[in-house]
Structure 1
Amino acid sequence: MGWLRVRIDHLFLLVEIHIVLANAASGMAVHDDCKLKFLELKAKRTYRSIVYKIEEKQKQVVVESVGEPTETYEQFAGKLPADECRYAVFDFDFLTPEGVQKSRIFFIAWSPDTSRVRSKMIYASSKDRFKRELDGIQVELQATDPTEIGLDVIKSRAS
């Protein structure tokens, strides 16, 4: 029975190490403004989009910019830097084939191929935790270049 006890203790130690590493990997705090702006987009439609960035020195996700309700998708996509990672939310309005007006809230994990490897790793390891803070995401996209978040892709994923 002693060997079983050792194995169980070993298993618990491995689980504890895994939990510590997982928490360290996704250790980015989420600034309260991130959730507040998202709730305003979702409930009040105060914004069309929100772009979030990770402030590495402060170890937290913050709001980088918001888009007014009249913002077009092209204007929003133009805010995503060509060589830096970001998270973004876009409230996409569209008509169904039956002519019904609908809306979908997209979460975009933007990680261009040209961004730093360290940045890609930080954004990838923090994404799920951050996304859980934004209750109401309907469609998720991960993109490494602009073609993966083109308007045609958004339209096809919306319906």
Structure 2
Amino acid sequence: MAMAYKMRFVFAQATQGMNIKDECKSWFTEMKWKKVHRFVVYKIDEKTRAVLVDKVGGPGEGYEQLVAALPKDDCRYAVFDFDFVSVDNCQKSKIFFIAWSPAASRIRAKILYATSKQALRRVLEGVHYEVQATDASEMGFDVIRERAQ
């Protein structure tokens, strides 16, 4: 019974208003329109209840650098600007939203990120696809490429 109460308390705290910092939208907008960033990684500061920018990947960085920027034991959100050539030989770009929640992360973090995701998604207008991943295989480059086609 005590565990169930604790989980309800954690869930209630997690669903209370999350503050999305202005920098989250501005970095995303620069990535989307100016193409000066390849990806943006976001994290939640539990003390201030705010979503912040954790890392920004430059235009020369790729998907491997994004994957390397995600911690093995903590949750994050990320957006990735995937450029590719379509089957009809056209240059295209699709933006992916990645909800990273590895198995080794704390339960509280998993709940907090899961319940706060939509607040960030509403701010990031123009995302084409969403990927939920608990390990690297669920967000492999082949998964991204297949979804974009």
TM-score by shorter chain over 0.5: yes
Residue by residue over 1:10-55, the C-alpha shift from the partner in whole angstroms, topping out at 9 and shown as x without a partner, is xxxxxxxxxxx98960521001000110111111111000000000
Whose Rg is larger?
1
Identity percentage of aligned residues: 53
The number of aligned residues is 139
Match of 2:118?
128
Match of 1:118?
108
Partner Cα separation in structure 2 for residue 84 and residue 22 of structure 1: 20
Q: 1:36 aligns with which of 26, 38, 46?
A: 26
Whether the 8 Å CA contact 2:74–2:102 is kept in 1: the answer is yes
Q: Kindly provide the amino acid, as one letter, of the partner of residue 136 in structure 1.
A: G
TM-score normalised to the size of structure 1?
A: 0.84
Matched, 1:91 2:100: no
The ranges of structure 1 where at least 4 consecutive aligned residues each deviate by more than 2 angstroms after the TM superposition are: 21-24
Whether the 8 Å CA contact 1:91–1:103 is kept in 2: the answer is yes
Partner Cα separation in structure 1 for residue 16 and residue 117 of structure 2: 8
Please report how far the alpha carbon of residue 115 of structure 1 lies from its aligned counterpart in structure 2 after TM superposition: 0.3
Residue by residue over 1:66-97, the C-alpha shift from the partner in whole angstroms, topping out at 9 and shown as x without a partner, is 00011111111111111100000000001111
Partner Cα separation in structure 1 for residue 16 and residue 136 of structure 2: 26
Q: Give RMSD over aligned pairs.
A: 1.5
| Map 1:1-159 → 2, pairs under 5 A | 25-159=15-149
SS of 2:69's partner is coil
Partner Cα separation in structure 2 for residue 56 and residue 110 of structure 1: 16
SS of 1:76's partner is helix
Describe the shift of the 1:78–1:49 C-alpha distance in structure 2 as closer, same or farther (beyond 3 A): same
Describe the shift of the 1:126–1:26 C-alpha distance in structure 2 as closer, same or farther (beyond 3 A): farther
Q: Which runs of 5+ in 1 are unaligned?
A: 1-20
Partner Cα separation in structure 2 for residue 108 and residue 71 of structure 1: 17
